[in-house]
Amino acid sequence: MKSVCVYCGSAAGASEEFIVAARDLGKELAQRGLRLVYGGASIGLMGAVADSVMAAGGSVTGVLPRNLFRTEVPHEGLTEMIHVDSMHERKAKMADLADAFIALPGGLGTIEELFEILTWSQLKIHQKPCAVLNVSGYYDQLIGFLDHCVEQKFIRPAHREMMILDKDPAKLLDQCESYQALDVQKWIDLDKVAP
């Protein structure tokens, strides 16, 4: 594992714990010599994790769609900034550059990115670890919903387990580094599919 894509909010959120967690994750990435790949902004949790990696002597690659943000939002102090033409290109580029994926707290974009990359893992488009840093129980209700999906037989238990969870950045990264991809097919009950 050489690089980690971090999905997170462009807002700071309601709790100081979110910013602290972003900084702690950034510091841990840098200490392990792992490059941060992220969305390229200087604000919110995005800016906090990037600043923390850079302050600890690490490497950061931002991937930013042209004309997405106002001119003051892109981070000017990164190791590398890659500009793309669309959100689709941004997500594909970030996925290509990363060896693992971690979601910090965030909004619709963060959740969408997390579920897309989990879906790609389920479909065997990639075999990289997908993790959630569950700061202050931020994702508890989402995790509960996924458990409900398993109970209702829309998600296989093994696919639910693809999401690595921890509240400690170091432990989360340890789990990512030891991750073994599952060899489980997508759930299709052929007996219940109409001819």
Q: What is the DSSP string of the chain?
A: --EEEEE--SS--S-HHHHHHHHHHHHHHHHTTPEEEE--BSSHHHHHHHHHHHHTT--EEEEEETTSS-TTSB-SS-SEEEEESSHHHHHHHHHHH-SEEEE-S--HHHHHHHHHHHHHHHTTS----EEEE-GGGTTHHHHHHHHHHHHTTSS-HHHHTTEEEESSHHHHHHHHHT-----------GGGS--
Instruction: Indicate whether 191 pLDDT > 60.
Output: no
How many domains in the chain?
A: 1
Kindly tell me if the per-residue pLDDT of 69 is higher than 90.
no
pLDDT in tens, 46-66: 999 999 999 999 999 999 998
CA separation for the pair 70, 186 (Å, rounded): 41
CB atoms within 10 A of CB 152: 8
* pLDDT band of 185, cuts 50, 70, 90: low
pLDDT value at position 181?
87
Domain limits at 76? 3-192
Per-residue model confidence (pLDDT) at position 55: 98
CATH at residue 64: 3.40.50.450
Considering only 55-64, 93-102, 122-131, 180-189, which range has the smallest mean pLDDT? 180-189
pLDDT, tens digit, 9 for 90 and up, residues 74-102: 899 999 999 999 999 999 999 999 999 99
Span 164-172, mean pLDDT?
98
Q: Kindly state the average pLDDT of the residues 113-133.
A: 96
pLDDT tens, 146-161?
999 999 999 999 999 9
Residue 67 banded pLDDT, cuts 50, 70, 90: confident
